[in-house]
Amino acid sequence: MSVELIQREETPAQQDPGALHRVLIVDDSRLQRKILSSSVKRWGFEVHEAGSGEEALEMCKEVSPDLVLSDWMMPGMNGLEFCDAFRKLSQDKYGYFILLTSKSEKAEIAMGLEAGADDFVTKPVDANELRARIAAGERILQMQRELTEKNRLITDTLDELQRVYDSLDSDLQEAKKLQQSLVRERHKSFETADLSLMLRSSGHVGGDLVGFFPAQAGHLGLYSIDVSGHGISSALMTARLAGYLSAAAPDQNVALERLEDGSYAFLPPEQVIETLNDLVLDEMETEHYFTLLLADVNLATGHVRMAQAGHPHPAVQRADGTIEQDGPGGFPVGLMSGISFTQFEAQLAAGDRILLLSDGVTECPGTDGEMLQEAGLAEMMHDLAEVTGPPFFEALLWRLTEFAGEATFPDDVSGILFEYHGADQAK
């Protein structure tokens, strides 16, 4: 189809290498291709020519033009069909498509846009208009490619962050195993009692720790710790504290005093907590503090002497189901020097048990936003009165999950269950 190009003298364009560079001219008229090609080359672009839509489509698979100037009316595959096929090609970058046409009806323009055309130039083609439309295409392509590059950088950054996250996640998984290994035995039987422990972090690692250690003959030390905060720093502090109450190294255990005969005696629990308070303030450069309940249990008599430092009250469940929750409360460890702590006691009879829990249980929010509190714990313990040993903690966590409405809790959850059978029922 005949096209007249009004030729004008133009200064070659200085191009950004990242912008429009390669132009494909598609027209069944060799003369019109030459006229268009001459001007476009003079403007500084690399030009390729095709005499039909079919030829242009094959060329696009090899050349990948930045911009296409295509006649609408061509034999065989017309400009609309070629534009549609061009858009369906898999290309790494977007190609700007200008249709050359004598059509000006809105319906026909809409057809071109639906086929994928970006712009139109009416014939006869004015060189100034064509140059302006190509310049507009350059700006759009430049913005599109800048956006693509930014998206690529974002994708690369996200990939790198994912690799870092995966590495951290792997490290945290190992840290979780190490922290869980601090509680080596989750259940232990003695002649007069059974002991069960539970430790569940709200994340990979947490600030809760429970444990026990042998003290003087016939005595057992129990501790339940809850370090402020969550995560790695809290977990590191629990590991440090585990060393101060070590079962494997009694000489390093601040709760034990070595006697002249080589045996060990359990120091008064309130004195032990005061020692820990001084150690944290004097030797640890940390903003963390922790709550603690430390107990000295006489395995023969069931007598328990304890000291409490801001930790939840111990819950004593008697053989008849009665539940007692009481204690002096106390001040958390590591906040202020010169704090004294108060010893209190409990006497267990055969069939009684004592439960030490972190506040992750009593302060767990329910589906209505209200915390479980001591009354809710007492109700759960009453319902689970016949459940003993590790299954008790499994059932307690199940009940807590029902209460919270989800399987994850906002705080770490830990506990110790000491079940006393009595000397007359020694196994």
How confident is the model at residue 12, as a pLDDT? Answer: 40
Alpha-helical (H) ranges within 76-221 are: 79-88, 106-115, 127-181
How far CA 248 is from CA of 101, 189, 212, in Å, comes to 90, 18, 11
CB 393 within 8 A of CB 353: no
Please write the tens of the pLDDT for every residue from 110-164: 888 888 899 988 888 888 999 999 999 888 888 888 888 898 899 999 988 888 8
Residue 80: which residues within 8 A CB-CB, separation 6 or more? Answer: 72, 99, 111, 112, 115, 117
Q: How confident is the model at residue 104 (pLDDT cuts 50, 70, 90)?
A: low
CATH class for the region spanning 182-425: alpha beta
Residue boundaries of the structural domains of the chain: 5-9+16-151, 182-425
pLDDT at residue 424 tops 90? no
Quick: pLDDT tens for 358-387: 999 999 999 999 999 999 999 999 999 999
Chain-centre distance of CA 298, in angstroms? 45
Name the residue with higher pLDDT: 215 or 3.
215
For 329-349, the pLDDT digits (tens) are 999 999 999 899 999 999 999
* Mean pLDDT, residues 32-43: 92
In a 3-state reduction of DSSP, which class is residue 309? strand
Q: Which CATH architecture has domain 5-9+16-151?
A: 3-Layer(aba) Sandwich (3.40)
pLDDT given at position 390: 96
- Taking the C-alpha atoms of residue 237 and residue 260, their distance in angstroms, rounded to an integer, is 32
CB 99 within 8 A of CB 79: yes
